[in-house]
């Protein structure tokens, strides 16, 4: 991805579109942090510093790689998922922030720009959260959306076979097409399972 990226007016329009997502309770459970210009490199210095802290034997090449992460696109937008005080379940608020990320990609694509939705290690690092001013317990990085001019046409990836994941509800028969053939590495279900159950709030 290279320059040009969206100009100020285009970026405003892209963010406006991105923010208009299905949103139970109209909470806007997300906010944006835009990185552009020289501030991308400044942020990169933090990543370099943190990497050097964690890996005393890091090579110059690795450190330069960390420093240049945000230089891979002219604009990077962090979509921060922020839990609002509300009766709306947290699960729905998190999904809404995810929808915002995808909407941001689609809006930028519609304006002719390439996008890449990345998390990488720095999305999950508490020190990075502190640098960005995220509030513990309610703010999380939903995604860093890299936006710019695509330098190559991407191959499409293999799509899921609908026969593997689509069920027709039939009384007395349990849905069994659950895409289990897409499980990876035999690693098991993360976090020992993850089920959203009915709470008082959702009744
Ligand atoms: C929440 C989320 C986080 C992602 N993080 C990464 C990442 O850290 N590194 C990566 O290579 N791809 C990541 N991806 C996948 C890319 O966004 C993208 O799907 C992939 O590069 C292939 O592009 P394509 O989907 O257009 O084929 C992430 C996707 C999502 C939804």
Percentage of residues of the chain with pLDDT beyond 70: 98
Q: How many domains does the chain have?
A: 1
The pLDDT of 161-188, averaged and rounded, is 94
Q: Residue 161: is its pLDDT beyond 70?
A: yes
Q: Residue 72: is its pLDDT beyond 80?
A: yes
Strands 75-82 vs 30-36: parallel, antiparallel or unpaired: antiparallel
Residue with CA at minimum distance from ligand 1 atom 19: 117
Q: What's the Rg (C-alpha) of the chain? A: 20
Tens-place pLDDT, residues 101-156: 999 999 999 999 999 999 999 999 999 999 999 999 999 999 999 999 999 988 99
* The predicted structure's pLDDT at residue 201: 63
* The predicted structure's pLDDT at residue 28: 98
Query: 72 in helix, strand or coil?
Result: helix
Task: Say how far apart CA 3 and CA 143 lie, in whole Å.
Answer: 21
The pLDDT of 12-31, averaged and rounded, is 98
Task: Say how far apart CA 163 and CA 151 lie, in whole Å.
Answer: 35
Our answer on whether the CB atom of 159 is closer than 6 Å to any ligand 1 atom is no
Domain that holds residue 137: 1-203
CATH number for the domain spanning 74: value is: 3.40.109.10
Per the CB < 8 A criterion, the answer to whether 31 and 135 are in contact is: no
Percentage of residues of the chain with pLDDT beyond 90: 89
* The predicted structure's pLDDT at residue 189: 82
56 C-alpha vs ligand 1 centroid, how far in Å? Answer: 29
Alpha-carbon dihedral 128, 134, 138, 140, rounded to 10 degrees: -40
Best of 95, 99, 106, 116 to mutate for ligand 1, by most ligand atoms within 8 A of CB?
116
Our answer on whether the CB atom of 117 is closer than 6 Å to any ligand 1 atom is yes
120 C-alpha vs ligand 1 centroid, how far in Å? Answer: 9
The pLDDT of 38-46, averaged and rounded, is 98
Quote the mean pLDDT of the chain: 95
Per the CB < 8 A criterion, the answer to whether 4 and 74 are in contact is: yes
Our answer on whether the CB atom of 157 is closer than 6 Å to any ligand 1 atom is yes
């Amino acid at each position: 991805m290279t320059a040009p990226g969206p100009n100020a007016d285009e970026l405003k329009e892209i963010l406006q579109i991105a923010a208009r997502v299905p949103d139970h309770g109209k909470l806007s459970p997300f906010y944006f942090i835009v990185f552009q210009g020289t501030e991308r490199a400044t942020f990169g210095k933090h990543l370099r510093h943190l990497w050097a802290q964690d890996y005393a034997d890091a090579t110059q090449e690795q450190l330069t790689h960390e420093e240049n992460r945000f230089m891979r696109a002219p604009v990077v937008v962090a979509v921060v998922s922020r839990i609002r005080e509300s009766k709306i379940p947290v699960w729905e608020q998190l999904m809404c922030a995810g929808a915002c990320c995808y909407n941001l990609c689609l809006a930028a694509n519609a304006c002719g720009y390439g996008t890449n939705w990345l998390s990488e290690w720095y999305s999950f690092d508490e020190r990075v959260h502190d640098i960005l001013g995220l509030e513990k317990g309610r703010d999380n990085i939903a995604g860093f959306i890299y936006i710019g001019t695509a330098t190559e046409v991407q191959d499409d990836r293999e799509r899921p076979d609908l026969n593997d994941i689509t069920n027709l509800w039939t009384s007395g028969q349990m849905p069994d097409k659950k895409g289990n053939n897409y499980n990876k590495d035999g690693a098991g279900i993360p976090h020992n399972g993850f089920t959203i159950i009915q709470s008082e709030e959702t009744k």
